[in-house]
Amino acid sequence: MNSHPSMPFEVARRQLHFFWLMDHSGSMGGAKIQALNQAVREAIPEIRAAVGNHPEVEVLVRAIRFAEVAQWHVGPDPVPLETFTWPELTTTGTTNTAMALELVTGELDVAKMPRRGFPPVLLLVSDGHASDAGRYRAALQNLLTLPWGRRSVRIAIGIGQGHEIDEVELRAFNSDVERPLLRAHNVAELVEQIKWASTAATVASSAGKSAAGPAAQNVLLPQAPAHVLLIPNGGEVF
Amino acid sequence: MNQKNVLAIATSATTPGREYTLVRRLAGGGQGEVFLARDGTREVALKLYHAHMGTVDQEAMVRAQVSRSMTDTPEERRFVWPQDLVRVDAWNRWGYVMPLVDRARFLDLGELQAARGRVTMSPRRMAEAGYQLSSSLRALHSAGHCYRDISRNNVLFEPATGELRIIDNDNVGVAGESQSGVIGTPEYMAPEIISGQASPSTLTDLHALAVLLFELWTWHHPLHGDLECRVHCWDLPAKQRIYGAGAVFIFDPRDASNRPNEPDYRGVRRAWEIMPETLRQLFTVAFTDGLRDPARRVTEGQWQQAFLQLFDGALRCACGAETLWDPKAAGGLACWHCRAALNVPPRLRIDTGAAPYHLPLTPGAQLFGHHLRPSAGRKEPAELVGEVVRHPNDPNVWGLKNLSENPWTFVRPEGATALVPPQKSAPLALGGRVTIQNRTCTIES
């Protein structure tokens, strides 16, 4: 077998910082938190597969859980996607979404972010209103004043039925202000939406397409496919 | 049939009664999903568009591709074309059937890079891949189409052979037709497309071809240097600056503002050093004059000829590495890997009418019709014209055996002429000349 030495080529990499922002307030108990844990575990191998043929993308993952307060679930040190595992999340207390945003904003400071990276991905999953709406709005505004913050790819997923979620509040989080809020009404929808959103955002940030002419947005995020948005008979309803 | 293995049934929109069974999902993307399906006993790939992506325009495009008549050439066979238009009524989605590509054999550039150390593509195979990509694109353009979305995601390589497959062909359009809302991969978009001043065309395809070839030969983007490195957040507006109005080749001889000085970029600096001079010259034209003036871009034919010459010039060093001899290389040739001096064999310099073709005369080397007429590219079946053979009585004497049907004329270095009938050989004496099919071929060292 005639083998050749490897060519002396190297792939230069940029870092993509991925943040899970997960509501684990009391109302998330039961089927919701189980589905969330399941969803993230299923999403991780799919994200790996999506960037498997993009060695120039180095994905580093962290997670923030928020209930009464916001804390690092995985962090503050980022974990490479290759070795990332999701610790089980349990529920407690109220919904301090504002504090979760404040915690991640701290990490998006230029001094803490890499010199060369891709737009960070922030995935927010919540089943209710922020316990302090004013503080939430202020925290979101502050996040968007940071260069890394306003360039981030942000997707919010609202869990549950009608009035329990503040749709306006969660939609304000999305980096693509035009698109409707992702709503998970049952277990299957939550799983599929978390899988789709985490994969699509990671790929769009690092290996995404664009249209000709000046970019309307800094990242082109595709539309969520219909089979992810609506799954009739999708298991326990939230 | 085992019902458990059937996800859904797809019905043909062109052949009544024809059905395909979807077995499992292979991949998903922004546009749709690809499934493994069965057409009788044959396995095929079946792409289904997401509901909002499958527009009327898209359907017309795919229908046109399904019904176009195809020539059976190597160039055509490398494209994975839609073969049938289908509907899955149960899901209210439509799509098309295409040949299944073995993704264990054929890898995209990213997979090749991720497999570094386990899988290698030798320089000769890289030259083969470059030849196949250029000649396939040339065939497509000659038929009046432009590819529009050439990128590392759509071109697959077989590392052991350099064989190519071109996939995701549902965006191929008719050259000259404007398409609004075209989505492309920014890394490969010509500056005039990024600025919104031009629509995709065969000329914008040439830019994308040059970028992909550069990535194949260096694993680096031709516009990623100091200017790109300075960008902290690499998003679309940043890409539009670096690939559009502010584009500067990293090795532009007249503009050093975008050199790849970053320590992490030592790979491309090394790759450029060991790259054959012919390719360095072509890449320089492509990314200086060719960046902003589409008419000056390197053509498919120029790439094709360059890669053909490099393929034939592969020399194996004792250390195992392959180095490509290049007519434009000055001085002696050294192995890129161990730097040992390489013995360059004598060559047959063929005066083709345009630039001469140089065929290295190694034992067993074969002279084909496409060496005498390189601009036309390889033909199928290949026309074998001659072969380097040993003298039956003297192992130190080599000759070029006439495998064609017509005699050649041989002129010795001293001036005496002789006829070389079919099955006889012309001795390989330095300075001697053979006239083959009206081409003068000189033996040089």
> Which residues of B, range 167-196, sit inside 8 Å of A by Cβ?
181-186, 189, 193-196
Query: What does the mean pLDDT of chain B come to?
Result: 91
Which residue segment(s) compose the domain that A123 sits in? 14-97+105-127+146-206+223-229
Residue A57 lies in a domain: yes
Domain B3-99 has CATH 1.10.150.20: no
Alpha-helical (H) ranges within B144-288 are 191-194, 202-218, 226-229, 236-243, 266-274, 277-287
Say how many domains are in chain A: 1
**Amino acid A164: pLDDT:** 80
Tell me the chain B residues in contact with residue A200 when contact means C-beta distances shorter than 8 Å.
30
d(CA A209, CA B30): 10
Q: How many alpha carbons lie under 13 Å from residue B391 in its C-beta half-sphere?
A: 11
Residue of chain A whose alpha carbon sits nearest to that of B189: A212
Q: B345-444 adopts what CATH topology?
A: Tumour Suppressor Smad4 (2.60.200)
pLDDT above 90: residue A84: yes
Structure token digits, residue B139:
């065939």
Structure token digits, residue B15:
């052949």
Structure token digits, residue B289:
């004059």
DSSP classification of residue B27? E
Q: For the segment A124-150, what is each residue's pLDDT rounded down to a tens digit?
A: 999 988 999 999 999 999 999 999 999
CA distances from B368 to A157, B126, B187, B312, B383 (A): 63, 21, 37, 11, 5
Torsions phi, psi for B410 (to 5 deg): -120, 130
* Inter-chain CB proximity A10 and B199 less than 8 Å: no
Residue A134 lies in a domain: no
d(CA A57, CA B113): 12
**Amino acid B393: pLDDT:** 87
**Amino acid A2: pLDDT:** 57
Spatial CA neighbour of A187 closest among A156, A152, A160, A220: A160
d(CA B133, CA B165): 9
Q: Which amino acid is at B301?
A: G
The pTM for the full model equals 0.94
pLDDT above 80: residue B221: yes
Residue A5 lies in a domain: no
For residue B144, what are the contacts with CB-CB under 8 A and spacing of at least 6? B174, B175
pLDDT above 60: residue B179: no
d(CA B305, CA B281): 14
Say whether residue B337 is in contact with chain A using an 8 A CB cutoff.
yes
Residue A137 lies in a domain: no
ipTM over 0.90: yes
What is the domain partition of chain B in residue ranges?
Answer: 3-99, 109-306, 345-444
Residue A116 lies in a domain: yes
If one counts every other C-beta atom within 10 angstroms of the C-beta of residue A220, the result is: 18
Torsions phi, psi for B348 (to 5 deg): -95, 110
> Which residues of B, range 138-157, sit inside 8 Å of A by Cβ?
153
Say whether residue A113 is in contact with chain B using an 8 A CB cutoff.
yes
Tell me the chain A residues in contact with residue B263 when contact means C-beta distances shorter than 8 Å.
none
- The CATH number assigned to the domain holding A61 equals 3.40.50.410
Q: Which pLDDT band, with edges at 50, 70 and 90, does B368 fall under? A: very high
Domain B109-306 has CATH 1.10.510.10: yes
Residue A59 lies in a domain: yes
**Amino acid A1: pLDDT:** 41
Residue A133 lies in a domain: no
DSSP classification of residue B130? H
Residue A211 lies in a domain: no
Q: For the segment B69-126, what is each residue's pLDDT rounded down to a tens digit?
A: 677 888 888 999 899 999 999 888 999 999 999 999 999 999 999 999 899 999 999 9
> Which residues of A, range 118-147, sit inside 8 Å of B by Cβ?
118-119, 147
